[in-house]
Structure 1
Amino acid sequence: MTINLLFFTISIKKRKISLVEAVQEEMVEKLYDKNKEKQISIHRFM
């Protein structure tokens, strides 16, 4: 009889971001939403 065991340890740390990174992330999110709205409006007219 053979027993095979495999153990994983996962540790999660909260990442601290700088103000510059937060502003950049917000800009990216806004651009993504803007492009998504454009795609939806173009798709509606087809």
Structure 2
Amino acid sequence: MTINLIFFTISIKKRKISLEEARHDEMVERLYEQNKEKQISIHRFM
């Protein structure tokens, strides 16, 4: 009889975001939303 056991340890740490990273993420999200709105408005006219 053979018993094979595999153990995994997963650690999750909360990552602190710098102010610069937060600003960048916010800008990216805003640009994404603007592009999405442009695509929707162009689609409506077709």
Supply the distance in 1 between the matched residues of 2:5 and 2:44 (Cα, whole angstroms): 54
Identity of aligned residues (%): 83
Return the letter of the residue paired with 1:16.
Answer: K
Deviation at 1:33, TM superposition (A): 0.2
Counterparts of 1:15-34 in structure 2 under 5 Å? 15-34=15-34
- Across the two proteins, how many residue pairs are aligned to each other? 46
- The farther-off stretch of 28-37 and 2-11 is 2-11
Gaps of 5+ in 2: none
Helix, strand or coil at the partner of 2:25: helix
Helix, strand or coil at the partner of 1:15: coil
Supply the distance in 2 between the matched residues of 1:42 and 1:23 (Cα, whole angstroms): 29
What do the CA deviations read for 1:7-43 (whole angstroms, capped 9, x no partner)? Answer: 5443322111100000010000000000000000001
